Structure 1
Amino acid sequence: MNKAYLDNILDNSVHFSEHSCAWKIILPMLLVDKFVLDTSDAKLAKLGLQRSDSDVLASLFFNNNLLSPTQLYEAMLFSSGGMTKVLKRLEMKGLISRIPSADDRRSLLVKLEEKGEKLIRSVLLELAEYQSKLLGILDEEEKRVIEKAFKKLAYALLVDEA
């Protein structure tokens, strides 16, 4: 999208009267989200990964490298309706393994293998470097305010099952 078109949309959001403030926040947020995800997907594709693959690996990485399929699904940022397919793909690449649960031998846990841990560490580092450059135009106070606001919005969307 050209900057002039974005300005036209934002400047003419008076058509939404009392909702124009929300529009002026959500639209740029959506554009940033789309740009970041598209760029991240392209970086992942170069490594032979899909977003669902990296989400499984990252979820395992940040949760002690071992989760049941149910826990894994709950820990994932993006939902994956084809979890079995994703797990099979990652297992074939040697990035994860399925091991019997100590609690219930009939169920299998998903374990992040060393190869998968090394890969997701490098992926996360590359994405973090890219995202840091993107956020480089903001000063520290702007970053702090945005972080706090988006965290508050994200928590409001999550269902607390505690």
Structure 2
Amino acid sequence: MDVEKLKEGIIFHKKNSPKTYKKDIDLGVPIFVLHKNIINGIDRILNKKYEMTNIELDVLSSLVLGGGDECILSPTQLYDRLVFSSGGMTKVLKKLELKEFITRVENSEDKRSKLVKLTSKGREICDKALKEVVTYECQYFECLEKGEKENLKSILFKVLENN
């Protein structure tokens, strides 16, 4: 990525669109570009190596992190956690079931619905993919010293807490 061109573009737009740039909103552009680059890189890893999408990994991860010892959640719990529509979640769950990463099990509390359970194959692929994704994300910040990483993290959380 040509960072100098990005900086020049921000300066150009700031100069030529003074009404738009009344405040220092140019911080959002590098954050957006960084986010886009990281997500695109993760998508490439997941598609190429694991034949899965980011949302599929999110579902598997949610089962691991929120599904207790047996890694079981209801579809409603999953789409609430992932801010996803029920129709969209149904499509994702069908794909994961075809790949044998999840299975549907009886819901003892509600016979009308089935719960989603992570399979051992799903757990294995989730662990491998997550490890690779986290490694990839960390590479983006290797150029920062330890103190810079702490400052950046502190600043980002401060912004998040304020909104």
Specify if TM > 0.5: yes
Report the Cα distance in structure 2 between the residues aligned to 1:95 and 1:152, rounded to whole angstroms. Answer: 37
Q: Aligned AA for 1:18?
A: K
| Off by >4 Å, runs of 4+ in structure 1 | 152-157
Q: From 42, 63, 69, give the equivalent of 2:44.
A: 42
Q: Identify the residue that residue 22 of structure 2 maps to in structure 1.
A: 18
Q: Look at both structures and tell me which one has the larger radius of gyration over its CA atoms.
A: 2
Q: Identify the residue that residue 132 of structure 2 maps to in structure 1.
A: 126
Aligned-pair distance for 1:3?
A: 2.1
Residue 115 of structure 2 corresponds to residue 109 of structure 1: yes
Instruction: Give the TM-score of the pair, scaled to structure 1.
Output: 0.84
CA offset digits 1:22-62 (Å, max 9, x no partner): 22x21001101110111110111111101221111111121
> Any stretches of 5+ residues in structure 1 without a counterpart?
158-162
Q: Identify the residue that residue 60 of structure 2 maps to in structure 1.
A: 57
CA RMSD of aligned residues (A): 2.0
Change (3 A) 1:79 1:155: farther
Q: From 22, 33, 42, give the equivalent of 1:31.
A: 33
Aligned-pair distance for 1:151?
A: 3.6
Instruction: Give the TM-score of the pair, scaled to structure 2.
Output: 0.83
CA offset digits 1:88-134 (Å, max 9, x no partner): 11011110011111211211111111111110111010011111111
Q: Identify the residue that residue 6 of structure 1 maps to in structure 2.
A: 6
Report the Cα distance in structure 2 between the residues aligned to 1:88 and 1:71, rounded to whole angstroms. Answer: 16
Percent of aligned pairs with the same amino acid: 32
> Any stretches of 5+ residues in structure 2 without a counterpart?
none
Q: Aligned AA for 2:22?
A: E
Report the Cα distance in structure 1 between the residues aligned to 2:79 and 2:57, rounded to whole angstroms. Answer: 13
Aligned-pair distance for 1:149?
A: 3.4
Aligned-pair distance for 1:155?
A: 5.6
What does residue range 146-157 of structure 1 map to in structure 2 within 5 Å? 146-154=152-160
Aligned residues: 154
